[in-house]
Amino acid sequence: MDIAAFAKRINAYERLMRLDKPAGGLLLLWPTLWAVWIASHGRPMLDIVLIFVTGTFLMRSAGCAINDWADRDFDGRVARTRERPLAAGEITPKEALILAALLAALAFCLVLFLNLLAILLSVAALAIACAYPFAKRLLPLPQLGLSIAFSFGIPMAFAAVRNQLPWECWALFAANACYVFAYDTEYAMVDRDDDLKIGIRSSAITLGRYDVAAVMASYVLMIAILASIGIALRLGWPYYAGLTAAAGMMFSHYTLIRERSREGCWRAFRHNNWVGLAIFAGIAFSALLPVSL
Cα 19 to chain centroid, rounded:
15
Helices (H), the chain: 3-16, 23-39, 46-70, 93-111, 116-138, 143-149, 153-162, 167-190, 192-198, 203-207, 211-233, 237-257, 262-286
Return the pLDDT at 291.
55
Please give the single-letter amino acid code of residue 178.
C
Residues with Cβ < 8 Å from 161, sequence gap 6 or more?
Answer: 36, 39, 40, 44, 45, 48
Residue 250 CA to its chain's centroid (Å): 17
CA angle 169, 173, 174 (to 5 degrees): 120
Instruction: Identify the pLDDT of residue 123.
Output: 93
pLDDT at 137: 78
Report, as ranges of residue numbers, the positions in the chain whose pLDDT lies below 50.
292-293
Nearest to 155 by CA among 200, 125, 191: 125
The HSE-up count of residue 287 (CA atoms within 13 Å, CB side) is: 16
Dist. CA 165–CA 156, nearest whole Å = 9
Give Cβ neighbours of residue 278 (< 8 Å, ≥ 6 apart): 242, 243, 245, 246, 249
Domain residue limits, the chain: 3-286
pLDDT at position 106 is 96
Taking residue 100's Cβ as centre, other Cβ atoms within 10 Å add up to 24
Contact 69, 97 (CB under 8 A): yes
The torsion angle over the Cα atoms of residues 205, 211, 214 and 216, rounded to 10 degrees, is: 140
pLDDT of residue 88: 83
Q: What is the DSSP letter of 208?
A: G
Q: Are 87 and 72 in contact (CB under 8 A)?
A: yes
Helix/strand/coil (H/E/C) assignment for every residue in 102-165: HHHHHHHHHHCCCCHHHHHHHHHHHHHHHHHHHHHHHCCCCHHHHHHHCCCHHHHHHHHHHCCC
Q: Which residues contact 223 (CB under 8 A, 6 or more apart)?
A: 243, 246, 247, 250
Report the pLDDT value the prediction gives residue 281, as an integer from 0 to 100: 97
- Model confidence pLDDT, tens digit, residues 64-105: 999 889 888 877 777 778 888 888 888 899 999 999 999 999
Cα separation, 143 vs 51, whole angstroms: 27
Q: What is the pTM of this model?
A: 0.92
Residue 80's alpha-carbon distances to 121, 139, 194, in angstroms, are 33, 22, 9
CATH superfamily entry for domain 3-286: UbiA prenyltransferase (1.10.357.140)
